[in-house]
Structure formats: structure tokens, C-alpha cells
């Protein structure tokens, strides 16, 4: 199978994630879309690792997973705090700072 | 047999010490009694930063080395920026330690019985200190990182604590939490772009290091599409962090919502770290491919200067105004990226240092202007402040004049040396637009000065609180640096000149 198909898939996943971030209104769904984008980058890393014939890209994808896990910790903390004080996880409700 | 890699701990010591201090701070949170934590945490944070600076001082002479298997470059620019970040975070910690700026109990719902009880009990979240140190460790790593994984990890290490810190304001907590949410979602979004770009640069060059990317570009043997995708996406991530248009929309909201000392810290130190990394990436990795990114960066630089300058005029909130001014400054700094020469680099180093001091000082003054319910950031209520407190208003004016780049302040010399570098490299357009927007921004800074001094004060409860010793010292240092570097710039400019080198 042509290896560039993996890159196309990665680009499609990244686009779906990016479009989701822009269009979805629930903070948790937005955050899941960001995770999808990170995973798209991971897929690209692993594909290029295969193309280049070394392991550096695979190592990079492990780093990404760890960082993504840290991001989940911080992100969910912020979203939960937000939900507790407003009873809503919609990012449209968070508009006090707009003038 | 497995050979352990050479890490060169002495070169990494400044970062490791700060990380160690942060971990110590976490331990203190776990084992000390509530009442004594704040003082101990302040001492740990300040001590750590001083110790880290001492270790940095030891290695400043033997610059231009790589450490940790080539994943960081300890060169002139790296050491200069690390030193600047350490000094500025020391001042920022003085502001952070000063007063009741942070939530009594971050987990309590705003307006609830829980919150009232913890305010009455005089509590305050002291986790802010270890979080600051974690952020500083990321900031120290970001400008010296010289491979894509290290860059990404450093970017996250500096960002994640900042997302939390933005949400920890004591008053107006809904605003603060909203700022944290926006900062987090947009920050995570932009780091996904950074990572995707990194993946394609790896695919293009077959190497993670900036050096390897540079040699792949000179060899020009791979697929150019990968390079273009890589440069574009990586730049989006970086430009978001420095707050360049059109990736700036988070800046005013976050600057306004975050607790003011944190805003100052973020505005000064994050910008230095992110700009340092941007300069390194564009000078070292993308320098050979300048014909591909220069036109776009030129447009972004111009847009950033113009939008930042014009939008600032319309702001009614002091913190939002400074946010747009920081966007305009990001545009000026991009001129150094375009310059691609030693003079531009020298200008950028000097600019970052002076801008850091001025910004921290300005946000320090904002923490002092209060009424009974907390800080007053509405510009209309600052009217006539010069009559109520001439000293605070004069110092704030000094900072504004430095932002505007009026002679005899450090801001003038900074802009001058930066634009000289850009002009010498033939980027006349960006220099012309830069000078013109400087004139526009000078207008709105002067408008604020007129409001402060030449308008009669309204009869309301706004006043300037008497600052504690730490805040007074911090503001005094910022003001002093702003004047001294305006009158005798060679003190720092010569240093910046010697340190303005990257190793490849």
C-alpha cells in the first residue's frame, strides 16, 4: 500500500479536528477535537518514521502522548471549574470578556 | 553495550535548579501549615531564581556549546535570554508575593458559602509559586531548545502552568476562569498546529534537529511541499504564542481576565521565551529558505503592528490597552525575524529585555490602583490620577513613554537598534510601517498621559494603595532600568552585541 495514504489520512484527521474546534460549542468536545489534531500529528510522525527508516518519529509520538495526557489534566480541571460556577460547558456562555 | 548519553549537567543546571525549586514548592504545599506557606514559598521561589542565575553566570563565558545530545544549544542568544527571563521572573515573583491577588480557594464556586468562608479565614492559594517556577523552567528551555521534540515539550511546560495561573484571580473570578478557558483551548489548538508542522519538517528533512532541517534545505533534495506545510504550521504555533495578528485574539481577553501580576509575568517572560524560540527557528533552521517565508512574515509583521496600534486606541480598559500594545510590540519584534542579521538580532535582544522591564513595571502600577472592590482597570476612572498620586502616575507615564519609544527612555533605543538592523538588511517596508505605527501608538499613550494629568479627577473612591516594600522595590527597579537604558544604552547594548550569536 502506498505510504502517502497515511499522510492523507493524517491530514484529513487534522482537518476534522480543526473544523471541530472552530464549529463545536461544548468545551469538552472542542478539547476532544484538539486531541484528534494531536493524534493526526502522531500518525504523520509515525508515517515519516517509516519513510525515513529511523525511530525518531516514533519516539516523538510517545512524547506527544505524554504531553497530551498532561494537557488533559490541566484542561479538564479548567473546564470542570468553569462548569461548576456556570452550570454549563458551552463556550458561547463564556463571553463576559467580549465588549 | 549501551552507552549512556552525555548530558552536560553544568550547562543544564539553571533549568534543573528551577525545576527542583518547583518540586520543593509542591512538597511545601503538602507538608506545611496553611499560615506559614506564603512566606516559605516566596523564599523558595526567590532563592531558586537567584541560585539559577548564579549557575547561569558560571557558564556565561564558555558559551556556544550543545548539551543533552544536541537537543539544546547553549549559545550567546540562549544565555542572554535565559538571564533576562530569570531577572524578570524574580521581579514578577515580588509582585506575585505582594498582596491578596489570588483566589482564596480555587475549587470553591464563585459567590458560594465555601468561598466566603475561605476568604474570611484569610486563605490564599499558594500553589501559584510552584506553578510560576514550572512556567519559568519551560521558558528557560524554550529559547535554547534546538530540536523539534524539545521545543514542543518546552512549549507545553511553559504553557500549562500559565493556563492555570490565568484562572486564579481573587476577584472577578468568572472573568478569570473564562480567560483561563480561552487561553487553554486556543493554546492547545495552536500547539497542535506546532506539532503537525514539526511532523512535516521531520518528514522533509529526516531529522528532528534545527541544524538537520537547515542542511536538508541547503541540499534541496526532498519534497518542497512538506517543507512549506512544515514552515506554515510551525509558524502558526509560534506566532500564536507571541501574539501576532491574525493569531492574537486570545491576548486581550487573557490579559484582562488573568490576575494582574500574572498578566505582567506572562506579557514579559512568555514573549521573551517565545520570541527567542522564533528567532532561533527562523535564523538557524529556516534561514536558507527565506524566499519562501519572508513575504508572509512581512505581511504578518505589518498587520500586527497596524492592528495592535489602531485597536489599542479604542480600548477603555487599561489591561486591554496594554494587551494591544503588546501585540504591536510583537509586530516590531518580527522585524528582527525578517532582518536575519546580527544587528537585527542584537536589536531584538535589547528590545526584549527593555520591553520586559517596562511591561512588568506598568502592570505593577495597575495592581496599585484600587477601590473598595479591588483593582480598577477602567480607563475612565483613572482620570486625574496624577493629582491623587503624582508619583505613581509619573512612573506609569514613564513606562508609557518608553512603550511609545520617546527619546531618553529605553524604548527609543530599543526601537532604533531593531529598525537599524531591519533597514540594513533591506527590509525598508517594514521599517517605514514600523515608524508610522510607532507614531500612531504614541498618540494613544499620550492620550492616557493627558487623562492622568490634565483632567480633573472625578469624585469617586479610586485611589492608589501604598505598596509593600517588595512591590515598591520591583517598580523602582523597572523604572530605573527604563531610564538608565534610555540614557546610557551601551550598558546593555554592548552585552547584547557580544551575545548576538547562534550556533548551528
Tens of pLDDT, residues B262-291: 999 999 999 999 999 999 999 999 988 888
pLDDT at B327: 94
Q: Where residue B459 falls among pLDDT bands split at 50, 70, 90?
A: low
What is the number of other CB atoms lying within 10 angstroms of the CB of residue B228? 15
Tell me the chain B residues in contact with residue A31 when contact means C-beta distances shorter than 8 Å.
185, 188
Q: Where residue A18 falls among pLDDT bands split at 50, 70, 90?
A: very high
Judge whether B114 is closer than 8 Å to chain A, CB to CB: no
Å between A19 CA and nearest CA of chain B: 11
Question: What would the mean pLDDT of A11-25 be, rounded to a whole number?
Answer: 95
Is B164 exposed, middle or buried, given 0-12, 13-18 or 19+ CB atoms closer than 10 A?
A: buried
Q: Where residue B10 falls among pLDDT bands split at 50, 70, 90?
A: confident
Tens of pLDDT, residues A25-52: 999 999 999 999 999 999 999 999 999 8
Tell me the chain A residues in contact with residue B198 when contact means C-beta distances shorter than 8 Å.
41, 60
Assess whether pLDDT exceeds 60 at residue A99. Answer: no
Beta bridge partners of B371: B374
- % of chain B surpassing 90 pLDDT: 63
Tell me the chain A residues in contact with residue B164 when contact means C-beta distances shorter than 8 Å.
74, 77-78
Q: Which of B115, B157, B183, B192 has the highest number of chain A CBs within 10 A, making it the mutation to test binding with A?
A: B192
Assess whether pLDDT exceeds 70 at residue B491. Answer: yes
Q: For residues B206 and A48, what is the distance between their CA atoms, to the nearest angstrom? A: 8
Judge whether B149 is closer than 8 Å to chain A, CB to CB: yes
Q: Share the mean pLDDT of chain A.
A: 91
Which chain A residue lies closest to B105 (C-alpha atoms)? A81
Tens of pLDDT, residues B104-121: 788 888 888 888 888 887
pLDDT at A98: 64
Tens of pLDDT, residues B163-187: 999 999 888 888 999 999 999 999 9
Q: Share the mean pLDDT of chain B.
A: 90
Residues 6+ apart with CB under 8 A from B414: B347, B350, B351, B354, B355, B405
Assess whether pLDDT exceeds 90 at residue B61. Answer: no
pLDDT at B290: 87
Q: For residues A88 and A73, what is the distance between their CA atoms, to the nearest angstrom? A: 19
Q: Please indicate whether, in this complex, the C-beta atoms of A74 and B184 are within 8 angstroms of each other.
A: yes
CB-nearest partner of B181 from A10, A27, A64 = A27
pLDDT at B99: 64
- All 3 cell numbers of residue B218? 541547503
Closest CA to B155 of B11, B269, B273: B273
- All 3 cell numbers of residue B4? 549512556
What stretch of H or E contains B160? helix B148-166
Which chain B residue lies closest to A37 (C-alpha atoms)? B192
pLDDT at B60: 84
**What are the φ/ψ torsions at residue B121 (nearest 5 degrees)?**
-75, 0
pLDDT at B241: 92
Q: What does the DSSP assignment read for B36-54?
A: HHHHHHHHHHHHHHHHHHH
Tell me the chain B residues in contact with residue A14 when contact means C-beta distances shorter than 8 Å.
192, 196
Q: Which of B69, B152, B195 has the highest number of chain A CBs within 10 A, making it the mutation to test binding with A?
A: B195
Is B214 exposed, middle or buried, given 0-12, 13-18 or 19+ CB atoms closer than 10 A?
A: buried
pLDDT at B18: 97
Tens of pLDDT, residues B312-337: 888 889 999 999 999 999 999 999 99
Q: What is the pTM of this model?
A: 0.95
pLDDT at B140: 96
Q: Please indicate whether, in this complex, the C-beta atoms of A71 and B196 are within 8 angstroms of each other.
A: no
Residues 6+ apart with CB under 8 A from B469: none
Looking up cell 479536528 gives A17
Least confident span in A76-80, B114-118, B346-350, B477-481: B114-118
Q: Please indicate whether, in this complex, the C-beta atoms of B182 and A54 are within 8 angstroms of each other.
A: no
CB-nearest partner of A84 from B109, B252, B257 = B109
Q: Please indicate whether, in this complex, the C-beta atoms of B207 and A31 are within 8 angstroms of each other.
A: no
Which chain A residue lies closest to B188 (C-alpha atoms)? A34
Q: Where residue B37 falls among pLDDT bands split at 50, 70, 90?
A: confident
Q: Please indicate whether, in this complex, the C-beta atoms of A41 and B173 are within 8 angstroms of each other.
A: no
Tens of pLDDT, residues B350-397: 999 999 999 999 999 999 988 888 888 888 888 888 888 899 999 999
Question: Over B75-143, what HEC string results?
Answer: CHHHHHHHHHHHHHHHHHHHHHHHCCCECCCCCCCCCCHHHHHHHHCCCCCCCHHHHHHHHHHHHHHHH
Q: Please indicate whether, in this complex, the C-beta atoms of B188 and A71 are within 8 angstroms of each other.
A: yes
Amino acid at each position: 500500500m502506498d505510504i502517502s495514504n497515511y499522510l492523507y489520512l493524517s491530514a484529513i484527521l487534522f482537518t476534522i479536528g480543526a473544523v471541530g474546534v472552530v464549529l463545536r460549542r461544548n468545551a469538552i468536545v472542542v478539547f476532544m477535537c484538539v486531541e484528534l489534531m494531536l493524534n493526526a500529528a502522531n500518525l504523520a510522525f509515525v508515517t515519516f518514521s517509516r519513510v525515513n527508516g529511523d525511530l525518531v518519529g516514533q519516539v516523538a509520538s510517545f512524547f506527544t502522548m505524554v504531553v497530551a495526557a498532561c494537557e488533559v489534566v490541566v484542561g479538564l480541571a479548567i473546564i470542570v471549574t468553569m462548569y461548576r460556577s456556570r452550570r454549563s460547558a458551552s463556550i458561547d456562555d463564556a463571553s463576559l470578556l467580549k465588549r | 553495550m549501551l552507552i549512556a548519553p552525555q548530558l552536560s549537567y553544568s550547562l543544564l543546571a539553571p533549568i534543573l535548579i528551577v525545576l527542583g525549586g518547583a518540586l520543593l514548592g509542591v512538597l511545601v504545599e503538602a507538608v506545611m501549615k496553611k499560615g506559614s506557606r506564603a512566606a516559605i514559598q516566596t523564599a523558595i521561589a526567590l532563592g531558586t531564581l537567584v541560585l539559577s542565575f548564579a549557575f547561569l553566570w558560571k557558564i556565561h563565558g564558555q558559551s556556544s556549546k550543545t548539551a543533552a545530545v544536541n537537543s539544546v544549544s547553549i549559545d550567546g542568544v540562549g544565555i542572554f535570554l535565559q538571564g533576562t527571563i530569570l531577572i524578570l521572573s524574580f521581579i514578577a515573583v515580588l509582585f506575585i508575593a505582594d498582596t491578596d491577588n489570588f483566589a482564596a480557594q480555587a475549587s470553591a464556586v464563585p459567590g458560594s458559602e465555601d468561598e466566603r468562608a475561605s476568604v474570611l479565614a484569610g486563605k490564599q492559594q499558594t500553589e501559584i509559586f510552584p506553578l510560576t517556577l514550572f512556567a519559568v523552567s519551560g521558558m528557560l528551555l524554550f529559547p535554547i531548545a534546538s530540536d523539534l521534540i524539545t521545543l514542543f515539550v518546552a512549549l507545553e511546560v511553559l504553557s500549562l502552568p500559565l493556563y492555570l495561573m490565568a484562572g486564579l484571580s481573587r476577584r472577578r473570578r468568572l472573568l478569570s476562569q473564562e480567560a483561563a478557558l480561552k487561553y487553554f483551548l486556543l493554546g492547545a489548538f495552536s500547539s497542535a498546529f506546532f506539532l503537525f508542522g514539526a511532523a512535516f519538517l521531520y518528514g522533509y528533512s529526516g531529522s528532528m534537529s534545527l541544524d538537520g532541517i537547515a542542511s536538508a534545505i541547503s541540499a534541496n533534495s526532498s519534497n518542497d511541499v512538506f517543507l512549506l506545510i512544515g514552515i506554515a504550521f510551525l509558524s502558526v504555533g509560534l506566532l500564536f504564542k507571541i501574539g501576532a495578528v491574525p493569531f492574537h485574539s486570545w491576548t486581550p481577553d487573557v490579559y484582562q481576565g488573568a490576575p494582574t501580576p500574572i498578566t505582567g509575568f506572562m506579557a514579559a517572560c512568555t514573549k521573551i521565551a517565545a520570541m527567542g524560540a522564533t528567532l532561533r527557528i527562523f535564523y538557524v533552521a529556516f534561514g536558507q529558505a527565506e524566499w519562501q517565508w519572508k513575504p508572509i512574515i512581512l505581511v504578518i509583521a505589518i498587520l500586527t503592528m497596524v492592528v495592535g496600534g489602531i485597536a489599542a486606541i479604542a480600548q477603555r480598559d487599561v489591561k486591554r490597552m496594554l494587551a494591544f500594545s503588546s501585540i504591536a510590540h510583537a509586530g516590531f519584534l518580527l522585524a528582527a525575524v525578517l532582518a536575519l542579521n546580527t544587528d537585527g538580532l542584537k536589536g531584538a535582544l535589547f528590545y526584549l529585555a527593555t520591553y520586559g522591564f517596562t511591561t512588568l513595571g506598568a502592570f505593577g502600577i495597575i495592581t496599585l490602583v484600587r477601590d473598595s472592590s479591588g483593582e480598577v482597570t477602567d480607563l475612565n476612572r483613572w482620570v486625574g490620577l496624577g493629582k491623587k498620586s503624582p508619583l505613581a502616575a509619573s512612573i506609569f507615564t514613564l513606562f508609557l513613554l518608553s512603550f511609545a519609544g520617546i527619546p531618553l527612555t529605553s524604548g527609543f533605543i530599543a526601537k532604533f537598534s531593531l529598525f537599524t538592523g531591519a533597514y540594513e538588511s533591506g527590509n525598508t517596508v517594514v521599517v517605514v510601517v514600523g515608524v508610522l505605527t510607532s507614531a500612531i501608538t504614541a498618540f494613544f499613550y499620550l492620550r492616557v498621559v493627558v487623562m492622568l494629568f490634565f483632567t480633573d479627577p472625578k469624585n469617586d473612591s479610586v485611589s492608589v494603595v501604598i505598596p509593600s516594600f517588595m512591590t515598591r522595590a520591583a517598580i523602582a527597579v523597572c523604572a530605573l532600568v527604563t531610564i538608565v537604558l534610555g540614557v546610557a544604552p551601551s550598558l546593555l547594548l554592548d552585552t547584547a552585541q557580544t551575545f548576538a550569536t547562534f550556533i548551528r
